[in-house]
Structure formats: structure tokens, C-alpha cells
Amino acid sequence: MIDNADAYHHDMKFEKLHDLPQQNDLSLRLERLNGLPPRNLDLYPTLAKDRIVVVLYVHNRPQYLKVVVESLSQVVGISETLLIVSHDGYIEEMNKIIDGIKFCQVKQIYATYSPHLFSDSFPGVSANDCKEKDDAGEKHCEGNPDQYGNHRLPKIVSLKHHWWWMMNTVWNGLRETRDHSGHILFIEEDHFIFPNAYRNLQVLISLKPKKCPDCYAANLAPSDVNSRGEGWATLIAERMGNVGYSFNRTVWKKIHNKAREFCFFDDYNWDITMWATVYPSFGGPVYTLRGPRTSAVHFGRCGLHQGQEENKACIDNGMVNINVEEPDTVSNIELNWEVHTYKNQPGYKAGFKGWGGLGG
């Protein structure tokens, strides 16, 4: 039996630039919480055999999280599956929101080596760390700046660390999912999920082997986050997007085999890292299958790293006005549709080069 901590330690063995820090009391407590069974087992004692596990990747934006949780509560079929919420550290207000979920089984996991848990040592900020654009020689500090001269900022680089930890923990570490052979859907705290999302995704996954055997994934939304879809009577195959993406264990193994490329690519964004270095290494186009009308939208107006207090949320008047129309409430993908493929879509050939200072 491999527990959550062992899976994490095992995955980090591919190359150790740093020994993992000694866990503090909070880190150890969160590790124990990661081993707890899902909540709401009394309300939903059994899960559907063909379930698509849903994983929600969150940081510190409670106003956003309230919106996505409310949208999930309206998703048809959500009670049939398990929702896993992956936290970057422990933030009480975020925790309280998840505690209120009663519409499905829910399990919370916490990144036990998040910099948010280590306030005065690596992977957080150490006393002798260079800050911002410090000159290491002049300031007598330690640091390895990126190409812009910026030293490592833990709350930024943790975005990519958290994503990689979450993927490894969900696929390889948790009792609930380490033997899961089906697709897992990944969403974030600034994704509004339409009521038909789960049912549409079930249809897409069932159609993918025949309609698009070369597709690696199924997506709820277009890769262009500003698009609501074409509205055509066809399925769409295109570059994998970062809003509502799902894939199976076979694809995860291909991604995991590129751990070194992922961790050492000079960018703190997990998605740009995937587009610029991991997917191209697969040797051909990495297509995803989706419908012609979106089942999820990105509503964020501020970066993941900023964090939001109740009265400073990046949402107009604390509200999100997303128009859910009648076609968005029921599955709207037809089994007989053909597939329109977008070929040679522009992508990222390089990152933003902001991954210096032992970011990876």
C-alpha cells in the first residue's frame, strides 16, 4: 500500500535538487487529513461504475470558489461521482466553503509541501533569500534569478508545484483514485460549470475512441477561453485547452514520463509548460474532443497567485453574470455528428522564462 505521502516522495526521486524539508506540525496534520475518507458517504453511499472523477484545483480566492461550487451544485449527474478538492496549503475560508458541500461525495487534499506552510524556510521564504531584483553580491543573499532578474517568489512558483503534486497524488497516491481507469476531469476555482457539463462529457468520452481515436482528451470548453463555441452541428477536435480538461491514466503516464521536461521548463504556468514542451514531445498533434457549444467558462479577472479577501474580490460587485440558456441545461451533443478538426493551431513555442531561482 502506497499512502499519499509515499507517492509524493516516490515521484520526487527522479532528481532531487533539494532534500524535502522537515515537515512542521501543520504539514503533518494536513497529511493526515489527506488520508481521511470522502465526506457525505451517508448521503451518497455508492458511486456510478462509469463515473468521471472531478478534481477542483484551488488557491486563495474564496469569492471565486463560492461561484464554482454553486455551479457544480447544479450539474446533472454530479451526485454520481467523487469531487476531489486540491488546496495549495490550508486557508480557513476556502476550507469552510468546501465543508458546506452536500451535493456529492467530496474529499479534500492539501499540498503538504506548499510554501504557504513554510513561512521561514524552503520551499517558503528563507531568511537569506534574495528578494525581487536583489543583487546577490551586494545584498549578500542567496538566489538564482530568472532572465528578467527576478528572484524566486514562492507564492508564484507554487502554482506549478501544486499542479504537479495534485496530478501525482490523484493518479498515483489516493486510495480513491490510484486504481481508477477512466477519465478524470480537472477544473479550477475560476471555472463556471454548466448544468450539462457532466452528461456532455460522458457522451464525448464514449464517442472519442471511434470519432477521434487520436484525441488524447475531452474538453468542456474551447481552447480559446474567450470563445463560447462555434454553434455548429459537429464535434470539434483541437488543441487541448485548460478549462475543463479530462483524460485517462494512459495519457497521465505519458505526461508523467516527461516529469523532467515539465519541472525544468522555464515557466511557472503549468498549462504553458504543457503546451510548449510536454505535448510537442509526444511526436504529433495532441488533440482533444469537445462539443460545439461550451459547457464551462473561465470567469477569472485576476491571477491565481493574488488571493482575494471578501471585500477585494476580482468579481464585479461580488457577482458573476453568466447566462445559462436552455441548451446548457441538458446534454446537447448528437451521436451522429462528424468531427471538424482544427489543424496547425498557434501555440506557445517558449515560456515566459520566469522560472528561475530553483522554481522547478
Question: Residue 257 sits in a domain of what CATH number?
Answer: 3.90.550.10
Q: What is the pLDDT of residue 359?
A: 41
In a domain, 104, yes or no: yes
In a domain, 112, yes or no: yes
Which grid cell is 60? Answer: 486563495
In a domain, 325, yes or no: yes
In a domain, 351, yes or no: no
Q: What is the pLDDT of residue 311?
A: 41
How far is 240 from 276, CA to CA, in rounded Å?
12
* Residue whose cell numbers read 475560508: 93
Q: What is the pLDDT of residue 18?
A: 52
- Whether a cis peptide bond, with omega within 30° of 0, leads into 123 is yes
Q: What is the pLDDT of residue 9?
A: 41
Say whether 298 counts as a known binding-site residue.
yes
Q: What is the pLDDT of residue 360?
A: 37
In a domain, 191, yes or no: yes
In a domain, 181, yes or no: yes
In a domain, 130, yes or no: no
List the beta bridge partners of residue 239.
287
List the beta bridge partners of residue 193.
296
Length, in residues, of the chain: 360
Distance of CA 320 to the CA centre of its chain: 21
State which residues form the domain around 244: 4-16+24-121+140-341
**SS3 (DSSP) at 58:** strand
How far is 107 from 86, CA to CA, in rounded Å?
9
Per-residue pLDDT of the chain (360 residues; tens, 9 = 90+): 334 444 444 433 333 445 678 899 999 999 999 999 999 999 999 999 999 999 999 999 999 999 999 999 999 999 999 999 999 989 999 999 999 999 999 999 999 999 888 888 888 888 889 988 998 888 899 988 877 888 888 888 888 999 999 999 999 999 999 999 999 999 999 999 999 999 999 999 999 999 999 999 999 999 999 999 999 999 999 999 999 999 999 999 999 999 999 998 888 899 999 999 999 999 999 999 999 999 999 997 655 444 444 444 455 555 678 999 999 999 999 999 999 999 877 765 555 555 443 343
In a domain, 133, yes or no: no
Which grid cell is 223? Answer: 481552447
Q: What is the pLDDT of residue 81?
A: 98
Closest by Cα among 2, 163, 178 to 86: 163
How many domains is the chain partitioned into structurally? 1
